[in-house]
Amino acid sequence: MTDKQVVRRFEQIVGAGNVMAAEADRQAYAYDAAVLDSVVPALVVRPETMEQLGQVVALCNENGLPLTVRGSGTNLSGGTIPSSTRSVVVVTNGLARILEINTEDLYAVVEPGVITAKFAAAVAEKGLFYPPDPGSQAVSTLGGNVAENAGGLRGLKYGVTKDYVMGVEFFDVNGELVKSGSRTVKCATGFNLSDLMVGSEGLLGVFARIVLKLIPPPKASQAMTAVFDSVEKASETVSAIIADRIVPCTLEFLDNFTIRTVEDFRHAGLPVDAEALLLIEVDGHPAEVAEDSEKIQEICRKKGAVSVQAAANAEEKDLIWQARRDALPALARLKPTTVLEDATVPRSRIPDMVKKIKEISQTYNLDIGTFGHAGDGNLHPTILTDKRNHEEYARVEKAIDDIFEAALAMGGTLSGEHGIGLAKRKYMEKETSRGTILYSRMLKQTFDPKNILNPGKMIGE
């Protein structure tokens, strides 16, 4: 078909109002939250039903058009940047329905465009709990969460998105609907395609529906802050808490640079002279919460905390977590370009990794604020720069290389929750093996012979 014929066929499938071909519209879908070059797609298509979605995928494959699925564009590794100017971006905000919340069997069925926070709120209204809480939850979509295996503040105790996916329905490149998993607690039917699709970053299929596990909410919780005069003491405290067999639902870390920046942004009363701050929460049965809270405070003091304070009420608890969620937006105000990474190491190596990041900051004369999910080893070194300053940005790129080299040398991983996408594919073989790359490419070739599904991402092409 000619280009005009292809556009007309998309319009017949989803309606003319859901096909965006104007330059201004296409520009809006040329980038995501990653600091990478934008690529303007040929077309943006917005299906509103499962049937339309399947037909769109099939039409792209029939015409050899690269296809990138996009939720809210919060991806931090370039996973939703179009692969070429021939690409079709398929946006999922027209597929944003919560189809079922089952309070008896503890599951929900959703479309991929449902906003994470809205889903969590709807589940809470039914007296249930959906734990995954990525930092972008106010705008990120569940389809994107599954595609990237998103984590969040509660990952230490409750796990990440993969731990709550019971089943998926997705379209293959031919527009055939594939179903895997079920609404039951156990399912051993066929290949475990659901797990394969989690974290697949849009390379193997296009989500149509997702079945998510729900759990009862905790009966009680207690939030605490611990102030330290050295990063090392705070880092060692994290290891000590876990070593004592206590598993907080959240155990977060902020360094001095981040503390001062957040306080300037929010005026929440943070101790700006502290070298490090731990934000901790335990939840569960009231008696267990009280016991764990007391133990944690004792450990913090033994490890040299300057002060330890438990939130007296819900308002103080909200202030604690607002300060943590403010970390990225507060840092992002300082310079035009913010590079947020998610180097992850074994928890016992947190002190070493924090020290290494500080050394890298000094070596390359860069402002790096470090915060993150210290309890599961997932740190977010955040480099503040201006990409237009080519000399400085060259130093930034060297610093990123060093950060990942250090994480891998400590037995860590390239990504705890942001995915690989375009940004980290060059490092993949260093963490895995040549065999892993070749096997992944064979798998991709089998599922997607024409290589239309998000080409060039993760494993490289």
pLDDT in tens, 396-444: 999 999 999 999 999 999 999 999 999 999 999 999 999 999 999 999 9
Domain boundaries, the chain: 3-91, 98-213, 218-329, 335-423
CA distance 25 to 22: 5
pLDDT band at 350 (very low <50, low <70, confident <90, very high): confident
**Fold held by 218-329:** Alpha-Beta Plaits (3.30.70)
- Among 3.40.50.261, 3.30.565.10, 3.30.70.2740, 3.40.1160.10, name the CATH number for the domain at 335-423: 3.30.70.2740
pLDDT tens-digit profile of 165-197?
A: 999 999 999 999 999 999 999 999 999 999 999
Task: Give the Cβ contact number of residue 334 at 10 Å.
Answer: 16
Residues 259, 141, 252: CA angle, nearest 5 degrees: 25
Percent above pLDDT 90 for the chain: 89
pLDDT tens-digit profile of 189-244?
A: 999 999 999 999 999 999 999 999 999 999 999 999 999 999 889 988 998 999 89
Numbers of helices and strands, H then E, in the chain = 16, 16
pLDDT band at 260 (very low <50, low <70, confident <90, very high): very high
Widest Cα–Cα separation across the chain: 72
Mean predicted confidence (pLDDT) in 279-304: 97
Structure confidence at residue 266 (pLDDT): 87
Residue for token pair 């067999």 = 245
CB 167 within 8 A of CB 184: no
Q: Strand order in 67-70's β-sheet?
A: 19-20, 43-45, 88-91, 67-70
Check residue 303 and report its DSSP letter. Answer: T
List the structure tokens of 247.
Answer: 């598993």
pLDDT at position 2 over 70: no
Structure confidence at residue 347 (pLDDT): 83
Compute φ and ψ for 45, nearest 5 degrees: -125, 140
CB 368 within 8 A of CB 337: no
* Burial group, residue 435, by CB count within 10 angstroms (0-12, 13-18, 19+): exposed
Structure confidence at residue 45 (pLDDT): 98
Mean predicted confidence (pLDDT) in 44-55: 98
Check residue 285 and report its DSSP letter. Answer: S
CA distance 321 to 314: 11
pLDDT band at 368 (very low <50, low <70, confident <90, very high): very high
User: Do 218-329 and 335-423 come out as alike in CATH topology?
Assistant: yes
The overall average pLDDT reported for the chain is: 95
pLDDT tens-digit profile of 87-96?
A: 999 999 999 9
Task: Give the Cβ contact number of residue 318 at 10 Å.
Answer: 12
pLDDT band at 1 (very low <50, low <70, confident <90, very high): low
List the structure tokens of 341.
Answer: 């990474």
Percent above pLDDT 70 for the chain: 99
- 186 in helix, strand or coil? coil
Residue type at 83 in one-letter notation: S
- 446 in helix, strand or coil? helix
Sign of CA dihedral 88, 79, 198, 142: negative
**Fold held by 3-91:** 3.30.43
- 68 in helix, strand or coil? strand
pLDDT at position 135 over 90: no
CB 63 within 8 A of CB 6: yes
What is the CATH architecture assignment of 98-213? 2-Layer Sandwich (3.30)
